[in-house]
Structure 1
Amino acid sequence: MKVTLQEIRERTYKPVDAWWTVLLVDPLASRLVRLVAPYRWITPNVLTLIASIFGFGAAACFATGERWALVAGGVLFHISFVVDCMDGKIARLNGTGTMFGQWLDFVLDRVRVFFIALALFGGQFVRTDDVAYLWLMAVAVFLDLFRYLNSAQMAKVRLAMRTQINAYRLPVAGEAESAADMGEPADEMPAPPAGGGSLKSRVGETLRRNRIRTHLFSGIEYEMSVFIIAPITGLIFPVTIAAGVGLLAFEVFLIFKLYRACRQFPGKLAAAKAAFEEHDESERIPSSV
């Protein structure tokens, strides 16, 4: 029995996601998931491998350096990304996700991006004999890798700080340390009540209501710009450079927020520990009759 699109949306969509995913991927991916979900042999790992095949097809097109092949490669890369998003949806829908599958998805994503970058910029170098394309390739690969490594490390630091502070949280103290207090993006927090607030808060509220995260340029938008928009428009140099600047600006902002949270962490930990010890001491003092 096929599931409905509404059920797929409710069970597989993330509360907030990249605007590219929300607007250009999820509408197609959810319909494809509805078609393949009844076939249990189509597992998340199978979809990960299919996404890789489309990705290497894009690389083959990019390697020729021809104008028509750049357009075809951009289309194939988008299809690869759609299928790559399907694996997570199938895992959540059918309960078929595994830890190995998470590893496979991450590793093949990074391998695919590396070879696609090699093909795109290397193909242009062979066609034009302009060594600047090789430098652009090095920068593009570095930024993509830095984004994912930096994201993982920042998440590890935030989790460590939050875990230490929450260990001293009192049942009467209310909620656990918020994502914002640990320097995490605002998208990790619940949306504020509707109405009122500044223009910034109203814009953020509108975006979240439509499942679009407020940081509008991150790793996904970077890859889509470099491997879809740049080759399809033929503006490989300007689009790649603009995407790199956008990604760096966003990463610097996140690093600044993390730095500020780390500076505040010792004081917050000390305050939480003192409150916990005071509460623990009062619990040991017998109440007067």
Structure 2
Amino acid sequence: MTTAPALAELREVCQPNAKLASRNGEHWAGRMYMRTLSLHATRQLVRTRVTPNALTWTMVVCGILAGFALLIPGLWGALLAAVLFQLFLLFDCVDGEVARWKGQNSAVGIYVDRLGAYLADAALLVGAGFRAARGGSLLWVSVGLAAALGIVLLKASTDLVDVARARRGLPVATEESTAPRAQSIAFARRIASAFKIHRITNGIEASLLLLAVAIVDAAINSTEPTRIAVAAIAAVSWVMVVAHLASIMNSSRLR
């Protein structure tokens, strides 16, 4: 087995400043703590034969299992789901780092990574819907499904910008092109960014929110807090679908 590379050398290659500084390219939890943890994992993994794509598939499995974990009654199911989503984030960092170090970047890896993001977030909200329906109406399953669909559409509306530009023969959109031209939409976007409410549509934040309300559930012996959380995620996701579409159409991303 080869000698593990120095952390400083590994960081320079695997964690380029351009990616970490990107507003849309790096999750806040990655910048806050996960990139520090992932670098130590990457340092050991680059010495093995494991491929970046294998790590990406592991990420996908962790995300989907988080949704199934929510079917476990009580606090333990929500705790397991949150832990699995932290592992999802870890492998989401590690697969790219290993790919950069080994020079094994591929279209397959990018595709599976994006597919995993769709599947993981959707699975979590479907699981949350079943969890909310426990001891009550199956209508909550539909609310969970609605939240999952909203989140998938939200992600798809972003990815379809790249599809549209590629088919038109245009380069990848810059972050500057995302700025809305209308002042009213720009103002609304700044307000949303200030309150960060849109973050609950992301699987990482949603899993932590569901863990928090599970603690309240256990304290008051009720599933009402979970139901409120699932309904809130569904409502925010669909508001964001409409707002994001308006922002895209009013920016230079498709020009």
- Flag whether TM exceeds 0.5 (same fold): yes
Partner letter of residue 47 of structure 2? P
**Worse overlay, 216-225 or 108-117:** 216-225
Q: Select the residue among 93, 97, 109 that pairs with 2:105.
A: 97
The match for 2:30 is 21
Cα RMSD over matched residues?
Answer: 3.6
- Provide TM-score, normalisation by structure 2: 0.70
Unaligned runs of at least 5 residues, structure 1: 167-176, 187-203, 205-212, 266-289
Partner letter of residue 4 of structure 1? A
Cα shift readout 1:191-216 (whole Å, capped 9, x = no counterpart): xxxxxxxxxxxxx9xxxxxxxx9995
Counterpart-to-counterpart distance in 2, 1:87 and 1:36 = 10
Partner letter of residue 34 of structure 2? V
**12 and 143 in structure 1: CA distance in 2 versus 1, 3 angstrom threshold:** farther
Q: Paired residues, what number?
A: 224
- Provide TM-score, normalisation by structure 1: 0.63
The match for 2:55 is 47
| 1:47/1:83 contact within 8 Å kept | yes
Identity of aligned residues (%): 16
Q: Select the residue among 71, 87, 93 that pairs with 2:79.
A: 71
**214 and 28 in structure 1: CA distance in 2 versus 1, 3 angstrom threshold:** farther
The match for 2:159 is 152
Q: In the TM superposition, what is the alpha-carbon distance from 1:141 to its structure 2 partner? A: 0.8
Unaligned runs of at least 5 residues, structure 2: 181-189, 215-224
Partner letter of residue 229 of structure 1? L
| 1:222/1:243 contact within 8 Å kept | no
The match for 1:271 is none
Cα shift readout 1:149-208 (whole Å, capped 9, x = no counterpart): 100122344567893xx9xxxxxxxxxx9653xx4259xxxxxxxxxxxxxxxxx9xxxx
TM alignment of 1:102-181, pairs within 5 A: 102-125=110-133, 127-157=134-164, 163=170, 179-180=175-176
Partner letter of residue 70 of structure 1? A
**66 and 219 in structure 1: CA distance in 2 versus 1, 3 angstrom threshold:** same
The match for 1:184 is 178
**Greater C-alpha radius of gyration:** 1
Partner letter of residue 39 of structure 2? S
Q: In the TM superposition, what is the alpha-carbon distance from 1:85 to its structure 2 partner? A: 2.4
